[in-house]
Amino acid sequence: MLDVTRPPFNLSSMTADPKVIEDLHRLGLVYEEMPCDPDLADTTAFCEAYGVPPEQSANAILVASRKPEGHNAVCVVLATNRLDVNGEVRRRLGVRKVSFAPPELTKELTGQEIGGVTIFGLPEGLPVWIDSRVMDHDWVVVGAGSRTAKIRFDPRQLQDRSGYEVVEALAF
């Protein structure tokens, strides 16, 4: 049944956040922009609809401390793994309690919406930690700063780059 409450999905209107594209160019990374129906931006739906294997889809997740507040990081893990929030992430932040940031805080700190959060175009000083298993792939798909696109790239391009830290056992 056609949903008449919103305009139909239009591939030509799907784009990544301009700050994300600017950052990709600044870094000199080779990438492919993939249009995405915003209703299919969440990882499971995206992988199923676009034929991307979940083990090559990486989620960028903002974590936020609760005790004390104000400590944040963006963590990148494969869709087939779970972020070790209460172990490695908590220890790395040096706090007692940490959790996934709520959508409002994610938007405030990154300028990006859940379903489109990425590791590019972020404010300076926000740590980016990448689980080492992400680096085992010659390509992964990450968010593009909006729900209307994804970025496909070789994560090994980030090896030894300032602002990106590869972490063993960030996820399990």
pLDDT beyond 60 at 120:
yes
Domain segments of the chain as ranges: 12-167
- pLDDT, one tens digit per residue, over 96-113 is 999 999 999 999 999 999
Do the Cβ atoms of 139 and 53 come closer than 8 Å?
Answer: no
pTM: 0.90
How far is Cα 114 from Cα 112, in angstroms, rounded to an integer?
7
Termini Cα distance of the chain: 40
Q: Return all residues near 127 (Cβ < 8 A) that are at least 6 apart.
A: 72, 73, 74, 165
How much is the pLDDT for 10?
52
Q: What is the CA radius of gyration of the chain?
A: 16
pLDDT beyond 80 at 1:
no
C-alpha distance from residue 126 to each of 32, 77, 109, 140, 145 (Å): 24, 17, 9, 22, 15
Burial of 32 (0-12, 13-18, 19+ CB in 10 A): exposed
Domain 12-167 fold: YbaK protein (3.90.960)
How much is the pLDDT for 67?
86
How much is the pLDDT for 14?
61
* Helix count and strand count (H, E) for the chain: 4, 8
pLDDT beyond 80 at 44:
yes
Token pair 């970025």: residue = 151
The amino acid at residue 99 is: S
